[in-house]
Chain A
């Protein structure tokens, strides 16, 4: 969409806007990198920025207004990796549009899933690990988190947390060793 469109094409595009997903709106592939998203936003905005189209009539300006707002919306969702993941999931479910607040809520939900686990057992053992940490039993926490990981091997948060706990446990053990004379 970076090319300058003829007025009839502008109206046509505004009409099918709801059928386009955000990648199509920005004219990029679904696996586009973050910097590709950004430069696509710049290019599309240039073509449809209300400022560059002041000479057109009211109908066309309105159509351009709709398109440029959708371009901004697409960018606002896709530029944030968390929101983009939430959107991709909705897109797989057949939705082309997502309100930003909704994408944000989706992103938060995903973050919580990551933090607390998304399988029942993953959640259960990670919760137990948290309780262990709270009462100071690091060894038990490590065991429980290891168990949680067996249910969710891809959970990055579990992995980093486990490394962290192991480090702390090691540290604790070193301190407990009697000091050498």
Chain B
């Protein structure tokens, strides 16, 4: 049998799988005949796991065992804003794992985010296999264009856990453009406006007969259709509390019902001018009387609730056009992607902004998976008929002194690309150097996403300034970052994929695969119809009332004290490994790991010479030397300034595990809080 590869759109709310064959692209339906499946994972008593719209219907009954919108959490640090926000609104438990990672606690087991995504991918794989009648092992998986390296890597790990070889991590808007323009012999400049459940992406592309070149991409990973729901929920909950004095947010079951009703109402507003929301018996008042929620919402009223969010998307569009050096008049078309773009208010706003009627001939829910499948099939065919030239969405930066981060590769630079910077040692006979790598658009290091840190050791020992080390930063076609270092004189080389601080090590992934939880994903097929659960209830256009939970499981008292089945695996790294994960105690404040940039072009050497210390400086009151205060040498000097106080602190004084734990308990999101524990120990 010929080799096949599928395309999977792994969405925040919905996922979709497609396959491209010589005779066309086919979106593969699941056993219920649905072309998309909710990205919801339900953990049933007894161990069975289900994914999809039936799982989504479970949220109301067992909120603590049903995981949704997990894509918002993948590749994030536990202390990030997004995780805090999710903790406030999600009904499942979000806990902290090793290395500031995020884990989900479901009953007595903890799952990492790549595992949850793997379960969804597994479902899509099995849906495809059921349809095709044979095994599928290769796939292209899409991510929002604005995803950073941590999120891309975690998604790739998810593929591996699901038993898929991920041929390519593809940007969603690029996939959409491919699906729109492939094989049509177009020469056009287009914008892809992709508003999903949780993310907004805009990409500007130039499509040629056989080449798809992304000119720019911008996005907002905190903006999507779910935020529209929140606006409506706020309105309804506030009104309810004013009229009845009952706070629906305090009651998880009432709140879930409210959420379902709000989303249904929003969706119906893409068809009707006005909808009625009716939830009978949503709550009881103090007197024990049963209360119902009833409210009419007109499209225009809804539009005014969310208009500022819509306007925010156009700010991002402005930026993308500016980066592409184009105006809306230069564009030949605008392609809509994502569920919320079905709303008339979005269509007309997009039409106004781009001064053209948006293209709606491709289904906004399926276009991404279709594009992914086209790319998948062209990757396994030796003679390829269209190729993609994509860009990196975020600037790649290196930490320098003073808490700053300097650009090495600007955002919207085409990939694959590689850039080299030369550094020198800071101390006589220095043995190791360390580099922090960030992604983001801020000069302030901590305002960017930390990708990890990279250590290079074992090079020639010499007087300070004599060893020259070339550090090469590469971004591949998946958008993944790789850093290598090389001693110029000896050619001795060390390299690593950046060690993900909150990600999974190879060993952890192997353990997860061994444990085989994703194999518990049960995909119903048409044959075992006896087992077919009722498809997700699609409420009639008007009443969005959900039945009260029948045999409702109590809200999760869950395993606060229960033993964690999955022991936290220690971070990878055999003894003697040169690569140190970010959060391993003891790696933060080495006394001898400062580097100096020899060929700095953007930053005066005075700021350059100590970039490994940018975070520590803030938490180090005992450091008497204000870095910025030093006079800048006239020329990029190889000669470093005097070592600073903390540079003589012995390595042994670094924090141990217990100290790290202590800091994890502290409030605050400032990165330095987490990384300078050695200073406080």
Q: A46-B387, A51-B387 are in contact. Are A99 and B419 (CB under 8 A)?
A: yes
* Alpha-carbon distance A73/B378, docked complex (angstroms): 25
* Alpha-carbon distance A46/B601, docked complex (angstroms): 32
* Alpha-carbon distance A52/B599, docked complex (angstroms): 35
**A60 contacts chain B at the CB level, 8 A cutoff:** no
Interface size on B, residues (CB 8 A): 31
**B465 contacts chain A at the CB level, 8 A cutoff:** no
Chain B residue at smallest Cβ distance from A48: B416
B416 in contact with A50 (CB, 8 Å): yes
**B382 contacts chain A at the CB level, 8 A cutoff:** yes
Name the residue in A41, A45, A52, A69 with the highest tally of chain B Cβ atoms < 10 Å from its Cβ: A69
Q: Mark B126-152, 1 if CB is under 8 A from A, else 0.
A: 000000000000000000000000000
Choose from B210, B388, B408, B601 the contact partner of A105 (Cβ within 8 Å): B601
**B477 contacts chain A at the CB level, 8 A cutoff:** yes
Chain A residue at smallest Cβ distance from B206: A38
Q: Mark A47-62, 1 if CB is under 8 A from B, else 0.
A: 0011110110000000
B413 in contact with A51 (CB, 8 Å): no
A-chain residues with CB within 8 Å of residue B168 when the two chains form the complex: 51
A-chain residues with CB within 8 Å of residue B410 when the two chains form the complex: 100-101, 104
B421 in contact with A100 (CB, 8 Å): no
Q: Is the interface of A mostly helix, strand, loop or mixed?
A: helix
Q: Mark B378-410, 1 if CB is under 8 A from A, else 0.
A: 110010100111000000000000000001111
CB distance from B404 to the nearest CB of A (A): 14
B-chain residues with CB within 8 Å of residue A72 when the two chains form the complex: 413-417
* Alpha-carbon distance A148/B290, docked complex (angstroms): 85
B417 in contact with A42 (CB, 8 Å): no
What interface size band does chain A fall in?
20 to 34
B-chain residues with CB within 8 Å of residue A101 when the two chains form the complex: 407-408, 410, 419, 601-602
A69 in contact with B379 (CB, 8 Å): no
* Alpha-carbon distance A41/B602, docked complex (angstroms): 27
A-chain residues with CB within 8 Å of residue B416 when the two chains form the complex: 50, 65, 68-69, 72
B601 in contact with A99 (CB, 8 Å): yes
Chain B residue at smallest Cβ distance from A55: B382
Q: Mark A103-133, 1 if CB is under 8 A from B, else 0.
A: 0110000000000000000000000000000
B-chain residues with CB within 8 Å of residue A104 when the two chains form the complex: 410, 601
* Alpha-carbon distance A55/B3, docked complex (angstroms): 14
* Alpha-carbon distance A102/B387, docked complex (angstroms): 30
B-chain residues with CB within 8 Å of residue A50 when the two chains form the complex: 416, 476-477
**A76 contacts chain B at the CB level, 8 A cutoff:** yes
B417 in contact with A99 (CB, 8 Å): no
Chain A residue at smallest Cβ distance from B408: A101
A-chain residues with CB within 8 Å of residue B421 when the two chains form the complex: 99
Q: A76-B413, A100-B410 are in contact. Are A42 and B208 (CB under 8 A)?
A: yes
B601 in contact with A69 (CB, 8 Å): no
**B474 contacts chain A at the CB level, 8 A cutoff:** yes
B-chain residues with CB within 8 Å of residue A102 when the two chains form the complex: 599, 601
B-chain residues with CB within 8 Å of residue A69 when the two chains form the complex: 416-418, 474
A-chain residues with CB within 8 Å of residue B408 when the two chains form the complex: 101
Near B by CB (< 8 A), chain A positions 29-51 give 41-42, 45-46, 49-51
Q: Mark A61-92, 1 if CB is under 8 A from B, else 0.
A: 00001101110110110000000000000000
* Alpha-carbon distance A100/B395, docked complex (angstroms): 13
Chain B residue at smallest Cβ distance from A65: B416
CB distance from B383 to the nearest CB of A (A): 8
A-chain residues with CB within 8 Å of residue B208 when the two chains form the complex: 42
B387 in contact with A52 (CB, 8 Å): yes
Q: A52-B384, A100-B410 are in contact. Are A42 and B213 (CB under 8 A)?
A: yes
Name the residue in B417, B474, B477 with the highest tally of chain A Cβ atoms < 10 Å from its Cβ: B417
* Alpha-carbon distance A94/B387, docked complex (angstroms): 34
CB distance from B377 to the nearest CB of A (A): 12
* Alpha-carbon distance A105/B601, docked complex (angstroms): 7
* Alpha-carbon distance A52/B416, docked complex (angstroms): 14
B-chain residues with CB within 8 Å of residue A54 when the two chains form the complex: 379, 382
CB distance from B516 to the nearest CB of A (A): 30
A100 in contact with B413 (CB, 8 Å): yes
Known: A51-B168, A51-B384. 7 other contacts (CB 8 A): A45-B389, A50-B416, A51-B387, A65-B416, A69-B474, A73-B418, A105-B601
Kindly list the 9 A-B residue pairs having the minimum CB-CB distance in the complex, ordered from nearest: A69-B418, A105-B601, A102-B601, A72-B417, A72-B414, A42-B211, A69-B416, A52-B384, A49-B387
**Residues of chain A having any CB pair with chain B under 8 Å:** 41-42, 45-46, 49-52, 54-55, 65-66, 68-70, 72-73, 75-76, 99-102, 104-105
Would you list 9 pairs from A and B whose C-beta atoms are within 8 A, ordered by A residue? A45-B387, A51-B387, A52-B384, A65-B476, A69-B418, A73-B419, A76-B417, A99-B419, A101-B419
